[in-house]
Amino acid sequence: MKTTDHLKKVLLLSLLATFPPLSTDMYLPALPFLQKIWQQPMSTMNLTLVVFFVSYCLTLVMYGPLSDRFGRRKPLLLGIAIYILASLFCAFSGNIYSLIIFRILQAAGASSASVISMAITKDLYEGYERQRLLGYMGVIMALAPMLAPVLGAWIMTYFSWPWIFICQGAIGFVAWAGVFFMEEPLKELSVSGVRATAGMYLQLLHNKSYLGMVVLFSLIVFPHFSFIGSAADIYINTFGTSEQVFGYFFAFNAFSIMAGSFAFTRLHKRIESRKLLTISFAGILLGGLLMRSALFSGPWTLALPMALVSFFFGCSRPPSNNLILEQVDHGAGTASSFMILVYFMIGAFSMWFIALDWINKVHVISLLAIFSGGIVLSFWLLVSTRSHPDTNPTKSGRENR
C-alpha cells in the first residue's frame, strides 16, 4: 500500500512539473503551419513561446508565498483551472494576437503546477529521499518533451492544430482531479500574512549561498531553451523534414534528457553529487564544441551534439535543484518560486535571442552551449575547490543565511 501511494505521488508530482514542456513542445509542430496560414514571420510566431515563459515567471512568484500561507492544494486547484480554460481559449484563437493573449493566461495557470510540485517534494521528503525522488521525477518528466511533439505532429497530421490545445486542457483536468483527491502535504502553514510571506523573497536575496547557486545553475538552460525555440524552424524549414520527422528528432533530444536523469539515479550511489555536477557541466561544454565543429551532416549536425548537451543537462538537474533547496530551512514554496523564476526568465531570453535573424542558428546554439557550459564549469570548480560544499543529501540545512 505504501509503495502504491508513493508511486501515485511520484506520478502526480511529475505530471504537475511537466506543464511547461507539455504547453510548449506539443505545440511546436504547429508553428511552421500557423506561420504560413497567418502570414507572420517566425520571430512573431515565437512570441507565443516567449510570452508564455515571461507570464509564467511573473505569476509563479505569487504561487510560492500563497502555497506557504494557505497550503498547496488550494492554489494548485485554482491555477490548474485557469490553465484548463486558457487551453480551450487557445484552441479557438482566430489570429496570432488572440493566441498570444491566451498563451499568457495559460502560462499564468501552468506556473502554479511546477512551482508548487517542487515545494511538495520538500514537504514530503528529506535529504537522500528527496534527491532520489527528483531523479525519478526527472526521468518521468522527460517523457513529456519526448512524447509531446510526436503527439502534436500526429494531431497535425490527422486532425488540426486546435486539438493540440484541447488535448492540453484534458491533461490539465487529469492533474486537477489528482490534486483534488490529494491530502494536503503542508502540515504547518505560515502564520504570517501573504504580504509578509512574500517578504521572504528579500530574505532569499540575502542568502548568498542560495542566490549564487540559483544564478549559476540556471545558466546551463541557454542551449536547452534556444533549442526549444528554434528546433521546429531548423528541422522543418532548414533541413526540410516533415512535421512527424521533426517530432521524432525532438523526441530523441528529450530521450537524452531522460537518459541523463536516469543515469544520475544510478550513479549518485557510487559517485558523490559534487563530482557528477562537474562531469555534467564539462559534458555540456563538450557537446557545444562538438556541435561547433560540424562533424556531422544534415539534421544530425544538430541532433547528435545536442543529445550530448541534453544528456548532461538532465544529469545535472536533480543534484543542482536539491543543492539549491538545501540552502533554505523554511519557505520551500517561495524558494522554489524564485529558483524557477530565474530558470525560466533566462529560458525566455534564450528563446527570444535564437528567434533573431541568424544566418546559422545551429552555430548560435553551439556557442550558447560552449558559453554556458564553460562559465558554469569554471565557477563551479572555483567554488567547490574553495569551500568544498557538501552536496551529500544526507545533510540538510546550511549556514550563511
Give the whole-number percent of the chain exceeding pLDDT 90.
36
Helix, strand, coil in percent for the chain, rounding step 5: 80, 0, 20
Q: What does the pLDDT look like over 335-352, one tens digit per residue?
A: 877 887 888 889 889 988
Q: Quick one: average pLDDT of 299-314?
A: 95
More confident residue, 247 or 195: 247
Q: What does the pLDDT look like over 145-200, one tens digit per residue?
A: 778 888 998 898 888 999 999 999 999 999 999 999 888 888 777 666 556 655 67
Please choose, from the candidates 279, 311, 304, 297, the residue with its C-alpha nearest in 3D space to the C-alpha of residue 366: 304
The least confident of 22-26, 57-61, 176-180 is: 57-61
* Owner of C-alpha cell 494576437: 97
Q: How far apart are CA 101 and CA 340, in angstroms?
A: 22
* Owner of C-alpha cell 550563511: 400
**Per-residue confidence (pLDDT) for residue 344, from 0 to 100:** 80
Q: Quick one: average pLDDT of 83-106?
A: 95
pLDDT at 353 over 50: yes
The grid coordinates of residue 108 equal 499564468
pLDDT at 77 over 90: yes
| Predicted TM-score (pTM) of this structure | 0.73
More confident residue, 21 or 113: 113
Q: Quick one: average pLDDT of 366-392?
A: 81
**Per-residue confidence (pLDDT) for residue 195, from 0 to 100:** 63
pLDDT at 392 over 50: no
More confident residue, 340 or 237: 237
Return left, alpha or beta for 241; rule: phi > 0 is left, psi -120 to 50 is alpha, else beta.
Answer: beta
Q: What fold, for 7-181+194-387?
A: Growth Hormone; Chain: A; (1.20.1250)
pLDDT at 133 over 90: no
Cα distances (Å, whole numbers) of residue 175 to 80, 105, 155, 216: 8, 18, 21, 32
The least confident of 34-48, 276-290, 357-371 is: 34-48
- Average pLDDT of the chain? 85
Please choose, from the candidates 209, 203, 218, 237, the residue with its C-alpha nearest in 3D space to the C-alpha of residue 65: 203
Residue ranges of the domains in the chain? 7-181+194-387
Q: Quick one: average pLDDT of 69-79?
A: 90
